[in-house]
Amino acid sequence: VAGLGNYGLWGTRHNVGMEVLDQLARQLAVAEGWRMDKRCCADVALATAHGVELVLLKPRRFMNLNGLSVASAAEIYNLGPEDIYLVHDDLDKALGKVAIKLGGSARGHNGVQSCISALHSSEMTRLRIGIGRP
């Protein structure tokens, strides 16, 4: 599960993907388990939910390069695009509205496009979180 955003720019609308991962880590009681993994240039926490092992990932790169971290982590943890969930902001959705999408185009989202390019696939499931337009 990868939270897309701009690492270090906390509190901005475009970082909602990383903020959701922080909340998920708290709910799964692994919030203290985040560690920097230089192999994929990301913060990583491992968790288990309903018997499923999860890799939580917060790339330490700018949004338009998030895919490099996601692809590296996929290789390290032996995951295919179909195993990856992207959590990201969506300007076209009203603030707070959410939608799940399987595959398809990036719809203009630079972080998603970076993941599609780096993984050579658009098969990732996406949790799109509405942030509305300014």
Per domain, the residue ranges of the chain are: 2-130
| Interval 63-87: pLDDT, tens | 999 999 999 999 999 999 999 999 9
Which strands form 42-49's sheet, in the order they lie side by side?
A: 35-37, 42-49, 52-59, 2-3, 85-90, 125-130, 98-102
| Positions marked catalytic | 14
- Report the distance separating Cα 120 and Cα 38, nearest Å: 22
CATH no. of 2-130: 3.40.50.1470
What does pTM read for this prediction?
0.94
Mean pLDDT (the chain) is: 96
The whole-number pLDDT of residue 110 equals 96
Q: Flag whether pLDDT at 124 surpasses 90.
A: yes
| Interval 80-118: pLDDT, tens | 999 999 999 999 999 999 999 999 999 999 999 999 999
